[in-house]
Structure 1
């Protein structure tokens, strides 16, 4: 059975991993007859958001501990991710990808990426093992792959401009579609950058994960 490493960024769309995307992705992996194991950085979140009001809360939460809620405990520190043990990599979106895995939410195209997340992603890229990025997580792609790598965040002009400024080649994409760069074996799909329903998000996620597993 093929094994997919999944990097989460917390729990909750506004300050961590987008929960619908994460669960849909894990379900899609199982439907494709593969297995998954989750990872997350063992760091504090940039901030904590009240998902009912949208207000920032005066407290701290740990990305790994919060992500463990989604993974039901089946999760480890991303620093322990060994590329040799997995066939592919998948990163769901949510603002955590822009706040915790990177600081894109603060610094835009001048952003940096968490050291351990970068090491994990680069290991898959160097091994030419397939990787998939969802929602805003594709902003990481040009930080990992050579200049000109193709990817998508959907049709958001500001994020697309940042993707290009970081060295990538952004391709506009409908919610149900997937952009594949065969040279670098990397896939991306907009998910909730465009989706208005769970079903819409599921269409692109299922397509990406199916392709991801086929590439292993």
Structure 2
């Protein structure tokens, strides 16, 4: 059975991992006959937002502890991820990718990325193991993969431009479609960058996970 690593960035669309995308990733991995294990960095979130009002809250939360909510407690520190134990990797989206795993939400084309995350992703790439990036996560592709690696965040021109300035080659893509860089073994899909419903998000994620498993 193929085993897939999932890297989460917290819990909640506005300050962590997008919950629907994370759960759909787990569901489609299992439905397609594979298994998964979740990881997250043991760091503080950039900030905490009230998901009811959108207001910032005066508190601190830990990315690993928050991601454990999605993983039902079955999660490990990202520093313990052993690439040799997995066939492929998935990064669901959510603002946690752009706020906790990187500074893309604030600095765009001048953003930096968490070094531990970069090392993990590049280790998969060096072993020619495929990686799927969902939603806003493809904005990290330029930090990780060679210049010109194909990526999509859907059709938002400003975000696409920043993604290209970081080194990726952006491809406009519909919510139900995926973009695959066969040479680099990189898969991306817009998910909630475009999705208006969980069903729409699911369609592209299912295709991305199928392509990931076919490629691994």
TM, length-normalised to structure 2: 0.99
* Alpha-carbon distance, 1:63 to partner: 0.2
The answer to whether structure 1 residue 173 and structure 2 residue 170 are counterparts is no
In structure 2, the residue matched to 1:121 is: 121
Aligned length: 216
The runs of 5 or more residues in structure 1 that have no matched partner are: none
Range with greater deviation from structure 2 (11-20 or 101-110)? 101-110
User: Superposition RMSD on alpha carbons, in Å?
Assistant: 0.5
* Alpha-carbon distance, 1:115 to partner: 1.3
Instruction: Write the distance in 2 (CA, Å) between the matches of 1:186 and 1:25.
Output: 16
* Alpha-carbon distance, 1:138 to partner: 0.5
Deviations 1:73-95 (A, max 9, x none): 11111111111010000000000
Task: Give structure 1 regions of 4+ aligned residues with deviation exceeding 3 angstroms.
Answer: none
* Alpha-carbon distance, 1:209 to partner: 0.4
In structure 1, the residue matched to 2:139 is: 139
In structure 2, the residue matched to 1:13 is: 13
The runs of 5 or more residues in structure 2 that have no matched partner are: none
Deviations 1:52-75 (A, max 9, x none): 000000000000000000001111
* Alpha-carbon distance, 1:96 to partner: 0.3
* Alpha-carbon distance, 1:108 to partner: 1.0
Equivalent positions of 1:94-113 (< 5 A) are 94-113=94-113
SS at 1:132's partner residue?
strand
SS at 2:9's partner residue?
coil
